[in-house]
Structure 1
């Protein structure tokens, strides 16, 4: 797969719209659990700790599947892999709706891990194949809001469906949405390899790179460490900051006021996703390392003051913190195709990159929480960890930027002058 746009802008945006819709339905499958936890507890007569495994098992499984998934996608092709991913989501909804025990319901969530954990790789591969390097920023930025949109939708579905049909009704509704996404995906999504063949006027899809070729690319390994380091500080926002706002040893706000501030913060994430997409498009593909460097620097400063913001400007800071926590992954998604000596290894590169993002997301709440608890509830006790890792990410970004300049650009004529 090269880095030239292989279809018209209208067709490229159609490809994105379908994969974005598919992503929303898959994220709905992931986040239909939190809004139905009390209903599931009552139905099976179990406790919250047991039901919480329905979320934990997805996070654990995502860590395990990231690298093999990249290899499988590189082997079978992006479209085929995308179909498998969506089918896994559908099967989870169907099996979960009829699960006779909580144990089987939890086990079915492994299928959600495959769908939720792998669809981002599919989306980035399709965006990279459909849009020229200088045009990928906006779709990558918009893509990041797939989760907030899904969380909003599952809450509304729960309000409308669950009172009449129980929590199983939400499983069925989400499954139907995923079936619609699957049909659209099969009908309209083109495999990136076939896009290149169509552009060349040939019938043969381009040759795939081997999995070993993908593993030998240094760029994705550096990028996965960068994403991991930044994910810790970002996870503090999503996982711990609501508790900090209402904690007596934290901001000490009224719980209702704290919830309102968290809701307000979502605006920063949504606006940030679109804004960073526009910025990515403005910045030349060969200069995106400097954009990531700027994000690392801004993140370091933000993480450093996260637990010492005056109440008077807390609302503004939360919008800013949400913005900062949102913008690094769109840049990584847009940058990853251009840090490869062999662009045909993109599928494997995505799998490698998602390892760091998943590890940071999984441990970014657990480790800071342990440090805070160990310090007797002092929230600033986790700052050396999250700020230190962000500094490491900054150093690694400098290294990756220099590596791309010296080792990648000389062998990538498609990036010349970009």
Structure 2
């Protein structure tokens, strides 16, 4: 019986965390970058949104390509691209080079995060698939929040360029560790091969993959929007300092991690993914109404922000745990994950400007944001309910090439 290599799983998750630090390093460093390079607000916005733009456009194609190139090769290539991108950014003297560095980093980041879950499944016993993939969901909130929390202490001594170099070194170390563990990530000898386009098309015919993607989209639209606008709200409407607002926001981001861990444990304990998605979406909706209610005291509203992100963290764990269940075969896991990542990044791309438009139309009243949040939550519930129906259907009638869905171990989720 195959045993889970927890060392290999841990290195893969840690590599994802370090990759995610490339997102969290930018907000604290942005004032210094704008000052040194003379960036406009629009240019700074593009530096911030490069990763989400690339992910929203290309993640599925990276996932499909992983089946052809090889997941380990693409993961190592992605980490190398992140190293070179960080080095280019550290020595950039113009906006053009800085943006190019972010495109290189962002492309590497997408390659890393769509392939690592496939590597995790190769080093995991089938009975532990849902647990390890659920734990994988901590990579983004943990990595980005650690970067956001530590950057203010490192920037005075290192500067933003020094911070970029430190993270380049950490990324290179992850690539080295991943390569040294390569024997744990070997693909099955009889793994089929074929064009990446076939993998993508077969993935797009998986209704469960679409449900997971829709749920992830609605979650990210709500969660990322709150993370983006919370600092501005705290500074402009509550008169807090920029540093305090940043610290409070980083705390809210970090609160997502316990939810991710609990979510992984719940799916491992045979709680249905659809049930978790429905329950989490409804809870986030209830919290959102309180967060934007100015009649409540600020301490309570901040507590609701913590609950919003902590309980909300169950949803991505539930979604990632479905990768093996809704991939037509093991070689499709990267493409299914790419579809989820693409949906997540589309939520990041659409949510902040949509909320800004709603608040502006409401005359600056943040309660106007609850309409969009409510719509996203209801759509999340619908995706969860549909997933419950799909997962009661035998695998050979719901996947693209009949009979090739990846088996999950130890449970009745599917």
User: Normalised by the shorter chain, which TM-score bucket?
Assistant: 0.7 to 0.9
Q: 2:161 aligns with which of 168, 172, 184?
A: 168
Partner of 1:183: 176
Partner of 1:125: 118
* C-alpha distance in structure 2 between counterparts of 1:315 and 1:169, whole Å: 33
The 5 Å alignment of 1:56-95 reads: 56-95=49-88
Partner of 1:216: 205
Is it true that 1:396 corresponds to 2:390 in the alignment?
no
Conserved? CA contact 1:79–1:190, under 8 Å: no
The 5 Å alignment of 1:367-406 reads: 367-406=354-393
Aligned positions, number: 397
Conserved? CA contact 2:8–2:184, under 8 Å: no
Q: Which runs of 5+ in 1 are unaligned?
A: 198-203
Sort the Cα spacing of 1:296 and 1:151 in 2 relative to 1 into closer, same or farther, 3 A: closer
Partner of 2:316: 329
Partner of 2:400: none
Q: 1:281 aligns with which of 260, 268, 283?
A: 268
Shift of 1:264: 4.6
Sort the Cα spacing of 1:146 and 1:345 in 2 relative to 1 into closer, same or farther, 3 A: closer
Q: 2:146 aligns with which of 147, 152, 158?
A: 152
* C-alpha distance in structure 1 between counterparts of 2:329 and 2:388, whole Å: 17
Conserved? CA contact 2:21–2:147, under 8 Å: yes
Sort the Cα spacing of 1:229 and 1:254 in 2 relative to 1 into closer, same or farther, 3 A: same
Shift of 1:376: 0.5
Sort the Cα spacing of 1:108 and 1:302 in 2 relative to 1 into closer, same or farther, 3 A: same
Choose 110-119 or 140-149, whichever is displaced more.
Answer: 140-149
Deviations 1:363-398 (A, max 9, x none): 111101111011111112122222112212211222
Deviations 1:60-103 (A, max 9, x none): 12212112111111211211110111111011022222324221
* C-alpha distance in structure 2 between counterparts of 1:341 and 1:149, whole Å: 30
Deviations 1:328-375 (A, max 9, x none): 111100112112444442121111122211111111111011110111
Conserved? CA contact 2:28–2:151, under 8 Å: no
Is it true that 1:339 corresponds to 2:326 in the alignment?
yes
Sort the Cα spacing of 1:296 and 1:128 in 2 relative to 1 into closer, same or farther, 3 A: farther
* C-alpha distance in structure 2 between counterparts of 1:166 and 1:245, whole Å: 26
Deviations 1:229-256 (A, max 9, x none): 22222123212234344554xxx47558
Sort the Cα spacing of 1:136 and 1:304 in 2 relative to 1 into closer, same or farther, 3 A: farther
Partner of 1:300: 285
**TM-score normalised by the chain length of structure 2:** 0.85
Sort the Cα spacing of 1:109 and 1:264 in 2 relative to 1 into closer, same or farther, 3 A: closer
Shift of 1:156: 3.6
Partner of 2:301: 314
Conserved? CA contact 1:77–1:191, under 8 Å: no
Sort the Cα spacing of 1:313 and 1:409 in 2 relative to 1 into closer, same or farther, 3 A: farther
Choose 181-190 or 370-379, whichever is displaced more.
Answer: 181-190
* C-alpha distance in structure 1 between counterparts of 2:148 and 2:368, whole Å: 35
Conserved? CA contact 2:79–2:108, under 8 Å: yes
